Structure 1
Amino acid sequence: MAGVIQQKQTSSGVHPLKFALWLIIISIIMMFAAFTSAYIVRKEEGNWLEFDLPDNLLINTVLLVLSSVFMQLAYFVAKKDNINQLKIYLALTLALGVAFLIGQWEAWGDLVSRKIFFGGSDANPSGSFLYVLTGVHGFHLITGLLYVLIVLISAFNFKVHSKKMLRIELCTVYWHFLGGLWVYLYLFLSLNH
């Protein structure tokens, strides 16, 4: 039986790591769909504090979109064996991702300065949801940054090139997913806040 299962997996043409990545992405989508659904339901119940989103969330969105552009460029130059440009584009992706996280931290500082807290007696559900949505996304972005760093180190060791594309392909898909997820969250929060 195990031989039959193994044969089906390899004959499907889908690499096991690609399959695993898509399972991870689907589970993250389901989690954020649950969060945003809960947000909408809770908002309709009342006792919802209306406040402006921190201004730098738009800047953070631009940073993350730019990082996705550099990640895609890294993928393209890896296919052409341009290792020097690959390293530069991956480093830029990494730097912009870190800048995004710093911007998110500053956004949280802005919320705290306006007395919008995550929990406790002073907290309102609207603020708590904002912390959860941005915090959980930030956690996933940290995992993405670690993966970009691994691919960058691999590029320095000449383990990413036109004949070894799996690492950068998986990293590119995950990074674009995280960028797209953030754009969705930003639009969702902007329209529902």
Structure 2
Amino acid sequence: MASESVKVVVRCRPMNDRERALNCKAVVSLDSDRGQCFIEKPGAAEEPPKQFTFDGAYCTQHTTEQMYNEVAYPLVEGVTEGYNGTIFAYGQTGSGKSFTMQGVAELAAYRGVIPRAFEHIFETIQNTKFLVRTSYLEIYNEEIRDLLGNDTKQNMEVRVDPICSSEEGWAGKGLLTSVVQTFSHLS
């Protein structure tokens, strides 16, 4: 069974083409062994960097595959054993959430957490009978959108189910939930 505690992990994405073209300087460094992140203040070499400690820290040399195997794999294993699991990607625009969660399809080592998790689930249950339902929502700038729905631009309401049954708990009003039978239905 996977751990029942909340874990906070940081990942520093590589610089993108625009940042490299502008000769941007990296101000974030990581000590992955200690789970520490250091942030330098540009132009203030005399000030020590701010230091933060996390349950895990992954730098630009780490692939999504490494991060998935160490962080998400145990969580997804727990899901296949019947436990609930959540991966919550948080950060400012451009910080690398999509890079980590969706990934780069052309580079196997950088395929995202989402496709890896679904592939993992379907490989695990391939010889058993399961009902797999999925929904996919995005919270961005305080707007909630159903990414599987017909109108992905429409803002949704999210409400707590007053009965709080095991089926619902909280619900996006009109959130599309689809039954899927294979990994290819998701990709």
Relative to its length, the structure with more strand (as a share) is 2
Common fold, TM-score beyond 0.5? no
Which structure is higher in helix share? 1
